[in-house]
Structure 1
């Protein structure tokens, strides 16, 4: 292990916790009606026809056909992204890939996958799905409608993932039951909520998942979007009423498919106890991959990421 010893932060991004401490973190007490809340949203999302529109992308790659894509999500929200298709072989599996809170400016071609249609959606308000007055700045995006539990933007982002799955099944009906999800940070937290209630997703990979154990997320010093939520809470004092319904660790307890979860021992942006709350909550079929640090460069990071990337390739490989 090479957990960073020096860093520029005014707090300890390990929070004084060792691996055994982190593996003991449990999800928070859940609010009444959590399942009813999400099941109703899922049923509503299933009724949406995504009507995907494809066009040739300006981006090119020797191994993949690259298409620009736009589809409709809930509330008639137009979601932009990319669809990449293998130049060799058939399309035998589908994968939806989420993004971090920085958004996405191009597909990720480093995934070691074959015979897979890979959809890279940009969640509402971010990157190709920019939509003023929603801010693309994570510190403001994470606060959009946070005072309205049913309208909080994170719920819409979960629905965007469900409609990404609907888009793949609309384009390739034979992929039904053969669609996975992979997401990091913001995309990891949103992904936990999406996978928990969408039986069409057959396996998932979450890396450095955000939105886990919201009571802890409000307390532990941090940088990034969580800090913005903490500042909002300090001013308004009522944010937990909303956040308890958007807790990735609470949702993760409902996940019933194979999972590969990568979590960090040191992370200034997504506190490790919150990440582990998500990983620990997944009841079965879960491999936990330990990274020395997240959202921070450290010696050995390239080697660890390479090992994880190979695991991801094996995890989503076409049988």
Structure 2
């Protein structure tokens, strides 16, 4: 088994997720530290144009599994494709983004091949061939440090926004290598007939760089409109605490926390959120946290980069207006 790294490029409707593109930065770092090639795998149906775009992203080898059964995510089919790709490039490290798909298929690959698994990684470095990993633990209260040995396969899922996406590479595009996967031999027990999209026009909080989040004290679904106004100006997403979701103020897919979605945006603005430990566990990885709350002793302030003890209905409209003014001046 060589020191090559395989990056799994997750795509949706012909677009590679930003969290997957960020993996190339880590892959290049590991390739420099331990030697080996940076390889990539993209899976889907009728993805010829996407494959050509992926070849220019910087991998030295690009494997493409393009077949109708890969149109929708199938645990067995995707697991087989990744295992076949690892064997083809003889890689000892697999990198995936910590998404719903990555959380599902990563452990399957590790179990199938007997590899070591580290999930939701926020720091990765190579030391004498082994990998030293940091990941949040105990609801984000502490950081666990792991070491994965040099021998055998290492499967890592990396938290989005842990690494910045690399700058465009002027190197020649990688040659596309078709990966034939024996779908019939997999014996899939279920077939996805259709995927129904959400009718929401708003960004998914798990993929947003900026999140404006509200707690139950926002008051109502109508009152959340001021948070949507700010998020729209900042090209961000709106999130909510569990209390706000349970109160019917926001849909379940906007819930952030241990029982919702774990996020790590560049900027997290918490409006009227006291900061229960379960919520802090879901957003503590944010680079900058701004807390807006009338309670000076609210736990959210212990995690905040900046704290504002003020009524959110006074401050948020002012922030929205000022952001509009500054953005207009930059144009």
TM-score by length of 2: 0.27
Structure number with bigger Rg: 2
Q: Which has the higher contact order (CA 8 A, sep 6+)?
A: 1
